[in-house]
Amino acid sequence: MRVFHSSYSGHHAPRTFVAIGQIVECPEQPRRAEILATAARDAGHRIIEATQHGLEPVRRVHDSGYLEFLETAYAAWMAMPNPGNEVIPNVHPGRNMNAFPIATVARAGHYQADTSCPIGPGSWQGIQASADVAVSAAQALVDSIGARDASAFAYALCRPPGHHAFADQAGGFCFLNNSAIAAQVFRDEGADRVAILDVDVHHGNGTQGIFYQRADVLTLSLHGDPTAYYPYFAGYAGETGYEAGEGFNLNLPLAERTGDDVYMETLDYAIARIVTYRPDVVVVALGLDASKDDPLAFLSITTDGFRRIGRKIGAMAFAILLVQEGGYISKSLGNNLTAFLNGFEEAK
């Protein structure tokens, strides 16, 4: 397995997370990537340093005003009187307030959906590095896609994650939507159809939003029931796409404590839809936070369950790019990645 990684991802080191009114340490730590990289290396996979690609691939997905905010927010924040040490909004526009923001605090509320995506001194460099990992891994598969080589695959060890990021908004630890950026790279390089299969425990609401009106990218997400779990306001089964995208978004919400067997049945349903769509390439938004041991646990997938998930995904007869999403520090995080990759490669 080719594992793309960036040594710059650790520059984004958020400190703060507001959970049910309490200020706690952010679980999206640089050590996540270290644990995953070590597990991949120890399992014999080849670690490749990502190439820097600049913002052009990112601009194909993300709004220019939003990117300018991400780049300048920390300096503008620190220029205010008595600022906190991270950019964290304390006001959001809400459904009844729509004026475009001018003040730095207002811009933060406009571009950051919640308090789980703080921006610190090194964040912009780390955020860009995560996108570079996704683009580097996608570019490594471009020739295989042109040749319709279904045996091609790679793993983008992205951090911070991306699937909650909309074209113009951060949220849920995410800033740039790495899976969406990779999918757009494939489209720009000649793929007619791309599927994004999201197996993170949280709904990929940003990915859904980016492609909701498009038929060239099929989006599918297995996730915890949003009536009781983040992101709450999206991820329902009735959200199937809009206009040209009608029928090209599939949400499969799962009940709390769903275990391996029910999950596999649901995954089979999603894979059958992908097979019918016949994409040129599948992007897998690989969250490992469906684990029963994850600190944000909602589902109850075992380490062997991740091996089974890997086997089912690897058995698909398409080129596949794995893009790391969630999966937070626990006793089984590295083992879950190893199990998934082993199952994937056995099937591939």
Residues marked active site are found at 164
Main-chain dihedrals φ then ψ at residue 324, nearest 5 degrees: -70, 130
Of 63, 44, 52, 116, give the one whose Cα is nearest residue 87.
Answer: 116
What is the maximum span of the chain, computed from C-alpha positions, in angstroms? Answer: 57
- Rounded CA-CA distance 285/53 in Å is 21
Q: Are 194 and 219 in contact (CB under 8 A)?
A: no
Q: Are 321 and 138 in contact (CB under 8 A)?
A: yes
Q: Are 40 and 337 in contact (CB under 8 A)?
A: yes
- Rounded CA-CA distance 79/204 in Å is 34
